[in-house]
């Protein structure tokens, strides 16, 4: 094992945890914005502000836009950004927050099997058990209860699962894209294309929108922070870790969303909340392979052969005299 493996695992695990805290707040912001301005404007506004933020960074850092790969970027924009953001926003109009949280976690399961199918990751027992444990932990935290299966609820659940499927399926494709494009360029171009995809529907619903200060502030925070800066940071992590490990942030984001609800909306914690949170953390460890106690292998001296032992030189051949 290389000397810096433990350090890298700790670093990226901490970064995923930090992003999860930020992304967990989007549950609150989406709930505030979508009823006022609609799902199309919520998704398009968030993505558009993210695109503008990333375009400014591209200009300031003098990065080149990767438009020669526009076909791959269009697929990534539709699967990873435009589709999930719109579908999640639409389903939030009908689904309770707890059900939305659980259904969003299924993106990890979709990503796990698609990554294995595309041979971008290896499907191990620990990863499968981690996915199951993560789903169970989130269900325990939100304390799922019986609901009357109305047609609206069933359709909304199917829409949310479709968004999760798109998000999960995009993970291995994002990993492939980082092999020939820079994370910042990928993120910026994806957001520009995704904004263009949602712009017609957003313009169509514009007359019915109610632009309240709370809705505008929610979209602004999501656009600049969670869609712009955070997604760029996420793509930098995707470049270094497996697609499944990167998707595991969904587990932690759901838990952080529950915590945000407790802090902002005064939602109560129970014993099952703590038990579910511990189960989600265990699931994340299983999926990512994170082990802070793993000892790094000793570093061989510079110039020494690390893999094969040095054998003694054979004696020189005799001169025959």
Instruction: Give the structural domain span for 141.
Output: 5-288
The per-residue pLDDT for 321 is 41
Nearest CA-CA partner of 142 in 318, 6, 267? 267
Helix (H) or strand (E) holding 289: none
Scan for tokens 């001169």, then name that residue.
319
The per-residue pLDDT for 98 is 63
Q: Average pLDDT by consecutive 10-residue portion of the chain (321 residues)? A: 46 77 81 92 96 96 94 95 94 75 76 83 79 75 62 83 89 90 94 97 94 94 90 86 73 73 67 71 68 49 45 48 41
User: Within a domain: residue 257?
Assistant: yes
Give 79-111 as a DSSP string. IIIIHHHHHHHHHTTTS-HHHHHHHHHHHHHHH
The per-residue pLDDT for 269 is 64
**38-to-48, 91, 203 alpha-carbon distances in Å:** 15, 11, 11
User: Within a domain: residue 320?
Assistant: no
The per-residue pLDDT for 187 is 94
User: Within a domain: residue 305?
Assistant: no
User: Within a domain: residue 306?
Assistant: no
- For residue 201, give both structure tokens: 């529907």
Scan for tokens 């997604």, then name that residue.
231
C-beta of residue 212 within 8 angstroms of C-beta of residue 36: yes
Distance separating alpha carbons of residues 109 and 122, to the nearest angstrom = 13
Q: What are the φ and ψ backbone dihedral angles of 95, each rounded to 5 degrees? A: -90, 140
Distance separating alpha carbons of residues 206 and 213, to the nearest angstrom = 16
- For residue 30, give both structure tokens: 């989406």
Residues in the chain: 321
Q: What are the φ and ψ backbone dihedral angles of 150, each rounded to 5 degrees? A: -70, 160
How many Å is the Cα radius of gyration of the chain? 23
Give CB contacts under 8 A, 24+ apart, made by 197-204: 197/77, 197/78, 197/82, 198/40, 198/43, 198/44, 198/47, 198/82, 198/85, 198/86, 199/44, 199/48, 201/40, 201/44, 201/86, 202/40, 202/41, 202/43, 202/44, 202/45, 204/40
Q: Crossing angle, helix 70-77 and helix 151-177, to 10 degrees?
A: 150
**Eight-state DSSP code of residue 227:** I
Distance separating alpha carbons of residues 236 and 12, to the nearest angstrom = 10
The per-residue pLDDT for 223 is 93
User: Within a domain: residue 220?
Assistant: yes
User: Within a domain: residue 319?
Assistant: no
User: Within a domain: residue 153?
Assistant: yes
User: How many domains is the chain partitioned into structurally?
Assistant: 1
User: Within a domain: residue 142?
Assistant: yes
The per-residue pLDDT for 238 is 83
The per-residue pLDDT for 291 is 54
- Residues ≥6 apart with Cβ < 8 Å to 251: 20, 105, 108, 134, 137, 138, 280, 283, 284, 287
The per-residue pLDDT for 103 is 75
Please, what sign has the CA dihedral across residues 239, 244, 245, 249? positive
């Amino acid at each position: 094992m290389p000397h810096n493996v433990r350090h890298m695992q700790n670093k990226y695990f901490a970064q995923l945890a930090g992003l999860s805290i930020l992304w967990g707040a989007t549950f609150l912001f989406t709930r505030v914005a979508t009823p006022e301005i609609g799902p199309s404007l919520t998704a398009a506004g968030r993505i558009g502000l993210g695109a503008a933020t990333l375009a400014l960074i591209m200009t300031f850092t003098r990065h080149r836009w990767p438009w020669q790969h526009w076909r791959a970027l269009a697929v990534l924009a539709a699967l990873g950004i435009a589709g999930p953001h719109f579908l999640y926003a639409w389903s939030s109009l009908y689904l309770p927050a707890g059900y939305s949280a659980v259904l969003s976690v299924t993106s990890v399961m979709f990503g796990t099997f698609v990554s294995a199918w595309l041979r971008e990751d290896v499907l191990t027992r620990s990863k499968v058990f981690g996915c199951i444990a993560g789903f169970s932990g989130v269900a325990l935290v939100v304390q799922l209860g019986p609901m009357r299966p109305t047609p609206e609820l069933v359709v909304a659940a199917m829409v949310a699962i479709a968004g999760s499927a798109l998000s999960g399926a995009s993970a291995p494709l994002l990993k492939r894209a980082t092999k020939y494009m820079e994370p910042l360029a990928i993120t910026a171009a994806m957001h520009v294309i995704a904004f263009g995809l949602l712009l017609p529907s957003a313009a169509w619903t514009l007359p019915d929108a109610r632009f309240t200060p709370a809705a505008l502030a929610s979209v602004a925070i999501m656009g600049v922070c969670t869609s712009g800066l955070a997604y760029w940071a996420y793509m930098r992590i995707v470049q270094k870790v497996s697609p499944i490990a990167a998707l595991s942030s969904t587990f932690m984001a759901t838990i952080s969303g529950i915590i945000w609800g407790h802090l902002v909306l005064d939602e109560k914690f129970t014993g099952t909340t703590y038990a579910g949170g511990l189960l989600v953390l265990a699931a994340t460890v299983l999926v990512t392979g994170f082990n802070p106690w793993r000892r790094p292998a000793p570093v061989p001296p510079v110039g020494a052969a690390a893999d094969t032992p040095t054998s003694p030189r054979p004696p020189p051949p005799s001169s025959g005299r």
